[in-house]
Chains A and B, each alone.
Chain A
Amino acid sequence: MTDLFSKFDPLIEQRRSLLSTGLTDPFGLVMEKVLSPTVAICNGKETILLGTYNYMGMTFDDDVIAAGKQSFDDFGAGTTGSRVLNGTFHPHRDVEAALREFYDMDHAMVFSTGYQANLGIISTIAGKGDYIILDIDSHASIYDGCKMGDAEIVAFRHNDVEALEKRLKRLPPEAGKLVILEGVYSMLGDVAPLKEMIRISKEAGAMVLVDEAHSMGFIGENGRGVAEEQGCLDDVDFIIGTFSKSVGTVGGFCVSNHPKFEILRLVCRPYVFTAALPPSVMASSAVSIRKLMHGGNKRAHLWENSKTLHKGLRDLGFKLGTETPQSAIIAVIMPDLERGAMMWEALLKEGLYVNLARPPATPAGMTLLRCSLCAEHTAEQVQDILGRFERAGKAIGII
């Protein structure tokens, strides 16, 4: 008998050899207690959280929590059903209304996660004979959406406007085309040249989908994302987003002005054939989204944090993923997986949690310590974080 698990042997061996050195498993962290958006107890130790994508710190917002509790009382714990059958409660409709207000768009559709939003929208709207043109560094959910559908997939070099243009010109003019971009690419925290790319895509007759998961609530005057910041939101056909970052809950969505958008509720399988999110999550999300519309001061503080951390880490001698701070993600490039894991552990022992990211999730085979800042990190915490990075970096010999 062939053991179906033998294909995982190289990964099992890599993990075994890494952990045999006595390192803490970087993928087995447990938060024993969460004290605030920026502090948790891990391994009995108070730990600053710098890798949670909780950009706007909404997880502990009083109004967000109160709305969830009230919804538990009013609607019960769960929906036990699909959105198109028994799973649409008032809070589901309300959160979609909140999204339409937030983006000033005509339609909003909520999925159970951001992953499912990409999976559902991409696999449904791009069909046989259509082309999807995507950035090679696209998120796994985008690739999986492509794999689930029947379209032809064309990749272009990361953030390369000319590479996109060339490929668009080589495709049959009459074929349906969907260009998929991200506002902020989550591994290095870099921003896409959306304005230029969207203009080129539109000239080639393509529809454009932009995943703004890592920019919602933070980038753009109203927190609508990189497309708003670059003044091209009106030319985006579909925005994909998530509730599990700035909104502070869980869920995914697509907003659009397409006049036929609502038909997707009947034909999009990852929307139809799964249970709707609990009403408490929807009620919390709706309050959070509406509060994010007025989060200008928090956005300004988050930018300050991002700039301070970026400059501080650079001055310490760390190699970073971007020349300048472009988002709330700052990626620290590690020389290799071994030293990356050691540095990750040293930071955890210092009381600082960051994400360890490694191939295949990362571009160019890099090992990264990915830091994501929160608007609730105080200026003192950011200085504290820099001190911990300095001590750990010197102890491991990276700086």
Chain B
Amino acid sequence: MTDRSAMFDKLKSLIEPFNKKGAALSDATTFAGDLEWDSLTVMDFVAEVEDAFDIVITMNMQAEIETVGQLVDAVIKLTD
């Protein structure tokens, strides 16, 4: 559980520069709805996450990731 919350915090710090609305971040926060990110912001953010963890998040995976919680789980899986 601590691993997961560490991952959440790490991703939270990556999200913040893109969180122009200052929305509160939880597992349930959605990228499209709550953060109101457009496709360009998503691309920039995904690139940040990929570089931070040296992973690739394919567009197939991105289509399944709607919330911060889902992103946390996906990155944990990819870095496993």
B40-70, CB under 8 A of A: which get 1 and which 0? 1001000100110011101110000000000
Q: How far is the CA of A283 from the CA of B9 in the complex (A)?
A: 64
- The verdict on A153 contacting B40 (CB below 8 Å), with A163-B47, A166-B51, A170-B54 known, is no
Q: How far is the CA of A42 from the CA of B32 in the complex (A)?
A: 42
Asked if B38 is at the interface of the complex by the 8 Å CB criterion, the answer is yes
What is the interface of chain A mostly: helix, strand, loop, or mixed? mixed
Chain A's interface size range is 10 to 19
B55 touches A154 (CB 8 A): no
Shortest Cβ distance from B18 into chain A, in angstroms? 15
In this complex, how many residues of chain B approach chain A with their Cβ under 8 Å: the count is 13
Closest B residue, CB atoms, query A163: B47
Asked if A4 is at the interface of the complex by the 8 Å CB criterion, the answer is no
B40 touches A152 (CB 8 A): no
A153 touches B47 (CB 8 A): no
Asked if A90 is at the interface of the complex by the 8 Å CB criterion, the answer is no
What is the interface of chain B mostly: helix, strand, loop, or mixed? helix
Shortest Cβ distance from A264 into chain B, in angstroms? 24
B56 touches A167 (CB 8 A): yes
A270-300, CB under 8 A of B: which get 1 and which 0? 0000000000000000000000000000000
Asked if A155 is at the interface of the complex by the 8 Å CB criterion, the answer is yes
Shortest Cβ distance from B42 into chain A, in angstroms? 10
Asked if A364 is at the interface of the complex by the 8 Å CB criterion, the answer is yes
Give the residue among B40, B50, B54, B59 with the most A Cβ atoms within 10 A: B59
**B binding-site residues for A, Cβ under 8 Å:** 38-40, 43, 47, 50-51, 54-56, 58-60
10 sampled A-B residue pairs with Cβ under 8 A: A136-B43, A153-B58, A153-B60, A154-B56, A154-B58, A154-B59, A157-B47, A166-B50, A167-B56, A363-B40
